Structure 1
Amino acid sequence: MVTETTQDHLEQVIQIAKGFYARKDRAHDLEHALRVREWCIKLAGAEGADVTVVELAALLHDIGRSGAVEKTHAESSAGLAVNILRKTGYSEEIIIKVKEAIIAHSREAGYEPETLEAKILYDADKLDFVGAIGLGRLFTLGGVQGWPLIGETSCESFYQDKIRGYHEHLFTKTASTFFEPLFKFMEEFWRELHTETI
């Protein structure tokens, strides 16, 4: 049950997160975090996870992406999230679960998602990188990085090396069900692109 106090705390977190995301690249901005939040809510409902934990983890999972003080953006985001959640009045139990989920949402830190909430955040983050939105994010990221469309170190090579393998590592059946049609759309896009390439 969402109480008025809970909603106030959540709104405070969103407002604080907004400031962090204003400094991020457009592929990892507040809009991305809000979409991941929606995926998390869907997955949590189907899988029986703690909605509060996944919602907070989704909102804060990329806040440490630029200017990371830790080894990885996931670790930096987790550290910042702990401070924000303490200031906004969340319990230590929720804070620990959110931290665990954020640290494990990216494999770059060497952490594997172990809790159901961590698995859901991981899956939700990957779902936002497939389908039409995924392509939009990929090209936005490519623009920031200066990547060409195809060839070596390109949007296509990033897709082949990273995004294409996401379905092998999804943790929940619900995420896999959502993933498949979005992935097929992307595969078809790249096939079409190559038929048009001169």
Structure 2
Amino acid sequence: MTTTEEAIIQETAAYVQELLTGEGSGHDWWHIYRVWNNARHIAAKEAEANLFIVELAALLHDIGDHKFHSGDETVGPRMAKEWLEKYTLSHTNIEHVCTIIKDLSFKGAGTTSEMQSIEGQIVQDADRLDAIGAIGIARTFAYGGHKNRQLYDPHVKPEMHDSFEAYKSSTAPTINHFYEKLLLLKNRMHTHTAKEIAADRHRYMEDFLERFYQEWEGER
């Protein structure tokens, strides 16, 4: 990257940190920080990726998450565009970042969210890696508590949502989220690097769930 691009990245990081520090649902600055690091790690293995686009999209991907704006998917891309238009960036680069943010979210087990660029695939992989493994487990329960959801109810079965609207409106217990999203992510990674990391994190979640059910029944 050029010196100017590096300066934009640092200013963007500072902006996002100020905006999201202290957020309590698992979508805080430290989530962004981890996704940013994940994305840089993956991009280092993908020689054809534009690192500037990857870093901007990773940093800005959650500044207007639909979950906190009544399901409105346009808020995030709009906020990102407003921020990026402060700089002398090309229309193509701004639109590329905003498209990645628009298409990033998981939209339900029965839906697909295709990424057209390698940069988008890297950022989506990086974000999904932060949704699984030990960090993913912690974030899942943080979000469940934030939304005042039950921990687990064996009478409420997971639902494989066939639309984004159904997925967004779900109020199921937190454990169901593992089956409705988290355990599906391993097979939805794009890059070889993310697939390797995801396999290990996936096994950790399986071990956690096995232990959870044992403790639920008083077996351990």
Q: TM-score, normalised by structure 2?
A: 0.80
Taking the aligned partners of 2:189 and 2:6, their CA distance within structure 1 comes to: 30
2:56 is the counterpart of 1:52: no
**Does the 8 A contact of 2:5 with 2:52 survive in 1?**
no
Taking the aligned partners of 1:145 and 1:88, their CA distance within structure 2 comes to: 37
Give percent identity, aligned residues only: 28
Give the number of aligned pairs.
195
What SS is found at the alignment partner of 2:26? helix
Cα deviation 1:118-153 (Å, max 9, x = unaligned)? 111111111001111111111110110112222232
- Mapping of residues 1-198 of structure 1, within 5 Å: 1-3=1-3, 5-22=4-21, 24-48=23-47, 49-65=49-65, 68=69, 71-72=72-73, 75-108=74-107, 111-151=113-153, 152=156, 153-197=172-216, 198=218
Taking the aligned partners of 1:186 and 1:160, their CA distance within structure 2 comes to: 11
Query: Residue 7 of structure 1: CA displacement?
Result: 2.7
Q: Which runs of 5+ in 1 are unaligned?
A: none
Taking the aligned partners of 1:98 and 1:161, their CA distance within structure 2 comes to: 28
Taking the aligned partners of 1:19 and 1:82, their CA distance within structure 2 comes to: 18
Aligned-residue RMSD, C-alpha: 2.2
Q: TM-score, normalised by structure 1?
A: 0.89
Taking the aligned partners of 2:112 and 2:19, their CA distance within structure 1 comes to: 24
**Does the 8 A contact of 1:101 with 1:118 survive in 2?**
yes
Query: Residue 91 of structure 1: CA displacement?
Result: 2.9
Taking the aligned partners of 1:148 and 1:59, their CA distance within structure 2 comes to: 31
Code of the aligned partner of 2:181: K
Q: Which runs of 5+ in 2 are unaligned?
A: 157-171
Taking the aligned partners of 1:91 and 1:15, their CA distance within structure 2 comes to: 22
Q: Would the alpha carbon gap of residues 11 and 89 (structure 1) be closer, same or farther in structure 2, given more than 3 Å must change?
A: farther
Taking the aligned partners of 1:53 and 1:78, their CA distance within structure 2 comes to: 14
Q: Would the alpha carbon gap of residues 79 and 69 (structure 1) be closer, same or farther in structure 2, given more than 3 Å must change?
A: farther
What SS is found at the alignment partner of 1:64? coil
Code of the aligned partner of 2:93: I
Query: Residue 20 of structure 1: CA displacement?
Result: 3.1
Q: Would the alpha carbon gap of residues 18 and 88 (structure 1) be closer, same or farther in structure 2, given more than 3 Å must change?
A: farther
**Does the 8 A contact of 1:27 with 1:141 survive in 2?**
yes
